[in-house]
Structure 1
Amino acid sequence: MQLWANVYPMDFSDAMLDLWNSYGEDSSTSSKTTQVLISCWNYWCQEAHPYCRSATGDNPPLLPRRVLDIRAFDTVTLKIRLRIPKRGSRAKYAALSHCWGKSQPLRTLKNNLSTMGKEIRWKDLPTSFADAIIIARARSLNYLWIDSLCIMQDSPEDWAEQSAQMGEIYRNCDICIGAADASDGTAGCFRDRQGLENRPVKLWETPPNLLLPDYGNSGPVYAFSVNRDKNDNPFQRRAWVLQEQLLCPRYISFGKSGVSWACLTTELSENSPQSFHGIADWSNGRFYYRKTFQAGISGLLDLKEHSADSLKLYQSWLLIMEAYSQRELTKSSDRLAALAGIASKFEQATSDQYLA
């Protein structure tokens, strides 16, 4: 077991740990234990985060022009197909955030659009796509949006139209699934790892006064493992990913050593599965732009001219541009397209005019 670090007093749920531990085997991020943890996070966000509920609303969103219909996945047929919903159709759906890499993923083209509408064979799906279907169905979601399958890749007209809608597509998804340790579609979302190494451990119900003299008797103390997932993987250097992470209301990242969660209210991981501070406005001496940007485009800030919230939102734009400029694009022609969703939402929030 790795060396434990970061000891915090915390109002952590013993019931949740007991539930988590009751599922036993946890050697992969595909385990039942991991699914239970994600379900807990999702339930808390849906039921106990007023901030998130205010931003997303109670009505199901409009479905994108094309989605993968995955309702029959957990039947004997394993049937997946590309569906064109009727105009105005509403339902919850998941979206996949992934790296294409050098290995081109399965794609929808003009000459296979009809075939994809009838059936996409399970054996033809890249591993990341198949894993995303498993994750989405575990959340009881019937539809999944994947860019390479839901946009005709050899149609400049369709690509231009649908790429312009990506801001809405990611903004309206119920969850976004990040294949964070996959350099291409063949690598998949799930990873082998020892989940017990990530799990918090209770050290004391009441800490020794000698150790924490100012803590008193206000609750137990837990030890948290060091989070070994870093932001230096190819996924985090991808320009398109920034837009996907910023716009979606809930983001589940499947990394090398575990899973993590981000919503408008909090950020969590297997190492720290329950937040005790939420998302701070500042992190490591730098303004944390994600929280402010998401609150701004959700109508949760006071954006009167020269207000404190308005100034913070403009500051978040500058930091987003800085972060975006440091990322990589396979095609330089995507430079504005991969930012269009962010720019469009910022424009709507501020009533400014985006010029590019």
Structure 2
Amino acid sequence: YACLSYCWGKEQQYTLKNANEATLRSEIDFPRLGQTIQDAITMTQLLGLRYLWVDALCILQDDANDKAIEIKKMASIYGSATLTFYIGQAESVKEGFLAPHLTKPREKGHQDNRAVDKFSYSGPFERDVVVPLDYRAWAFQEFLLSPRILLFMSLNVYWVCRRWHYQPMYSQNPFHRNAGNINSIPHLNEIISQGKRMPRSDFFKAWNYIFSDYSYRKLTDPEDRLDALTGVLSVISEAREDKCHFGHWESTLPGSLMWQSSEGTPGRHSRAPSWSWAA
């Protein structure tokens, strides 16, 4: 199966609820899904996969108990998927991502004694540009936990896995580099691979990198601050046999209490005590 990571936007109105669960189990009104979900279904079929996980349609959105159960499964859901479609450029479900390929600016050229088409692009490297989904807190762990990702941007489709990142537009040869675009990937991999053998100081640094990467992302509901990171917390806890208390690891206390808000006095939320950054 594949997973879908995308920005819902205000247009995400067709969701799974108690009132329509029976109907959705028997049939789905395809046009109401939104173009992004429709495109993801198309890609799933083209890749020969049987199922697609879409959180809006797989979790009862008006059932707190179902949400709590499924949120605890995020590490397994995204970590066990064949791949995840990460829709970087779309700001809402209505936009879609299977747009026509870029054809301009384009010019004829020659390489190795044969005619080729050349593309000119003078802007920044596209994956170094922050896109709407990069600000979505829930998408952070969806990216980190997925073993393989097809990253859809405005100009290109990128392949991202645990180590390599492939971008085919600007070279005829495969272009690989460390997958550091969401720079927490190598730090999470290091924590998981070393587990309890990782020195406390190294873990503290790696976790701070992950935490800092996550902390600037936005949530519609601030009360979800810890829930949106549950999958990452669970894989780290299992690897290190360490307990996490409201976003602080036992092995890093009391040092991890020395945090500060970059936006002044933080708002107070009931899900965490005042000493936690999640408050």
TM score, norm. by length of structure 2: 0.75
| Residue 125, structure 1, aligned to residue 23, structure 2 | no
**Cα distance in 1, alignment partners of residues 110 and 61 from structure 2:** 51
1:41-56 pair list within 5 angstroms: none
| Residue 350, structure 1, aligned to residue 240, structure 2 | yes
> Structure 2: which amino acid aligns with 1:329?
L
Equivalent position of 2:178 in the other structure: 279
Aligned with residue 10 of structure 2, among 84, 102, 105: 102
Q: CA deviation at 1:316?
A: 2.5
> Structure 2: which amino acid aligns with 1:124?
R
Aligned with residue 212 of structure 2, among 304, 314, 322: 322
**Cα distance in 2, alignment partners of residues 258 and 168 from structure 1:** 29
**Cα distance in 2, alignment partners of residues 354 and 109 from structure 1:** 32
Q: CA deviation at 1:204?
A: 5.9
**Cα distance in 2, alignment partners of residues 195 and 163 from structure 1:** 42
Equivalent position of 1:258 in the other structure: 156
- The 3 A distance-change label for structure 1 pair 115 and 248 is same
| Residue 136, structure 1, aligned to residue 44, structure 2 | yes
Structure 1 unaligned segments of length 5 or more: list them. Answer: 1-92, 206-221
> Structure 2: which amino acid aligns with 1:337?
D
Structure 2 unaligned segments of length 5 or more: list them. Answer: 247-279
| Residue 179, structure 1, aligned to residue 87, structure 2 | yes
Q: CA deviation at 1:346?
A: 1.0
Q: CA deviation at 1:224?
A: 8.8
> Structure 1: which amino acid aligns with 2:65?
E
Equivalent position of 1:228 in the other structure: 126
Q: Secondary structure at the match of 1:101?
A: coil
Equivalent position of 1:268 in the other structure: 166
Give a deviation string over 1:129-153, Cα, whole Å, max 9, x none.
1100111111110000000000000
TM score, norm. by length of structure 1: 0.60
> Structure 1: which amino acid aligns with 2:19?
N
Give a deviation string over 1:76-109, Cα, whole Å, max 9, x none.
xxxxxxxxxxxxxxxxx10000111122242000
Equivalent position of 1:162 in the other structure: 70
**Cα distance in 2, alignment partners of residues 168 and 202 from structure 1:** 48
- The 3 A distance-change label for structure 1 pair 263 and 311 is farther
| Residue 290, structure 1, aligned to residue 185, structure 2 | yes
Give a deviation string over 1:245-264, Cα, whole Å, max 9, x none.
10100011111111111001
**Cα distance in 1, alignment partners of residues 29 and 230 from structure 2:** 33
> Structure 2: which amino acid aligns with 1:290?
I
**Cα distance in 1, alignment partners of residues 99 and 22 from structure 2:** 34
Q: Secondary structure at the match of 1:328?
A: coil
> Structure 2: which amino acid aligns with 1:304?
R
Q: Secondary structure at the match of 2:245?
A: coil
- The 3 A distance-change label for structure 1 pair 312 and 252 is farther
> Structure 2: which amino acid aligns with 1:339?
L
Q: CA deviation at 1:229?
A: 5.0
User: Aligned pairs, how many?
Assistant: 238
Equivalent pair of 1:181/1:235 in contact (CA under 8 Å): yes
**Cα distance in 1, alignment partners of residues 164 and 33 from structure 2:** 33
- The 3 A distance-change label for structure 1 pair 111 and 259 is same
1:308-319 pair list within 5 angstroms: 312-319=202-209
**Cα distance in 2, alignment partners of residues 237 and 125 from structure 1:** 23
Q: CA deviation at 1:323?
A: 1.2
**Could you tell me the percent identity over the aligned residues?**
29
Equivalent position of 1:243 in the other structure: 141
**Cα distance in 2, alignment partners of residues 167 and 202 from structure 1:** 48
Equivalent pair of 1:195/1:258 in contact (CA under 8 Å): no
Equivalent pair of 1:260/1:267 in contact (CA under 8 Å): yes
Comparing 143-152 with 267-276, greater Cα deviation is found at 267-276
Aligned with residue 337 of structure 1, among 209, 216, 227: 227
**Cα distance in 1, alignment partners of residues 205 and 110 from structure 2:** 40
Equivalent pair of 1:293/1:313 in contact (CA under 8 Å): no
Equivalent pair of 1:247/1:294 in contact (CA under 8 Å): no
**Cα distance in 2, alignment partners of residues 311 and 224 from structure 1:** 46
1:141-152 pair list within 5 angstroms: 141-152=49-60
Q: Secondary structure at the match of 2:94?
A: coil
**Cα distance in 2, alignment partners of residues 276 and 103 from structure 1:** 36
- The 3 A distance-change label for structure 1 pair 326 and 202 is farther
Q: CA deviation at 1:195?
A: 5.3
**Cα distance in 2, alignment partners of residues 186 and 349 from structure 1:** 39
> Structure 1: which amino acid aligns with 2:187?
T
